[in-house]
């Protein structure tokens, strides 16, 4: 979970950011501040990974505030003014977003943080389910199933339904991550294969059929299993 704070003296802008944050599963809003001094207190009282920082605030602007910090969290500047962009990036800000901030622009910026802020290297995908963008670790994904215009992702602990996504959109990304397509409707994580027959692959309690047009890839995978005695 990434702890974040909003530092902005404009209530409407802060509320919009709070709404955007609520849609991303791995972000946790740890507090809001209307000025730099209140933000400093938040930073002292808990570990903050990410700060959404306005620039034009009373008494102490965001640029000077960030410059004053000895331990800086990842920072995304949120402002209505373009002229501070160079100073913002000189302070190694993750991004510089102009108001009004759309969710699409917000998510693009946050995704960069999600891919870099984690302390360990982790393969993951980010998919939208029930209006929330979720970060799913590939090590938890058993298989992906196409269901009309949606895809169903089955995890080792629970299931997610992702609307308006296609299995073909993920195939090129996941093929190098230990996943293979064995059916027009199924892509499996080969690390979870526990058994197989001539026509099916078994992943624990799940039996996945092998499609006729995917048999060659299936046979290559099985030959690797037999050669390396993986099962």
Q: Which of 203, 192, 196 is nearest to 226 (CA)?
A: 196
State the DSSP code for 24. Answer: B
Asked if residue 168 lies in contact with residue 187, where contact means CB atoms within 8 angstroms, the answer is no
Instruction: Tell me the C-alpha distance between 101 and 95, whole Å.
Output: 13
Confidence bin at 119 (pLDDT 50/70/90): very low
Tens of pLDDT, residues 210-225: 999 998 888 888 887 7
- Residues of the chain above pLDDT 70, percent: 94
Asked if residue 136 lies in contact with residue 26, where contact means CB atoms within 8 angstroms, the answer is no
Tens of pLDDT, residues 52-81: 999 999 888 999 999 999 888 999 999 988
- With 0-12 / 13-18 / 19 or more C-beta atoms within 10 angstroms meaning exposed / middle / buried, residue 102 is exposed
Instruction: Tell me the C-alpha distance between 79 and 96, whole Å.
Output: 8
């Amino acid at each position: 979970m990434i702890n974040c704070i909003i530092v902005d003296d404009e209530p409407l802008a802060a509320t919009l950011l709070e709404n955007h944050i609520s849609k991303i599963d791995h972000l946790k809003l740890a507090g809001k501040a209307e000025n730099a001094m209140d933000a400093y207190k938040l930073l002292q009282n808990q570990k903050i990974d990410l700060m959404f920082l306005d620039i034009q605030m009373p008494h102490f602007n965001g640029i000077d505030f960030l410059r004053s910090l000895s331990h800086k969290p990842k920072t995304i500047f949120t402002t209505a003014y373009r002229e501070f962009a160079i100073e913002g990036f000189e302070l190694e800000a993750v991004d510089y977003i102009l108001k009004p901030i759309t969710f699409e622009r917000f998510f693009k910026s946050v995704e960069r943080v999600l891919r870099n802020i984690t302390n360990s290297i982790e393969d993951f995908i980010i998919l939208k389910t029930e209006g929330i963008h979720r970060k799913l670790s590939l090590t938890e994904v058993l298989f992906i199933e196409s269901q009309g215009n949606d895809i169903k992702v089955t995890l080792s602990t629970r299931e997610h339904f992702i609307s308006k996504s296609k299995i073909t959109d993920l195939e090129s990304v996941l093929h190098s991550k230990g996943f293979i397509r064995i059916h027009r409707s199924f892509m499996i994580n080969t690390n979870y294969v526990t058994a197989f027959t001539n026509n099916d692959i078994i992943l624990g309690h799940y039996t996945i059929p092998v499609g006729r047009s995917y048999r060659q890839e299936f046979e290559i995978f099985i030959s690797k299993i037999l050669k390396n005695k993986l099962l």
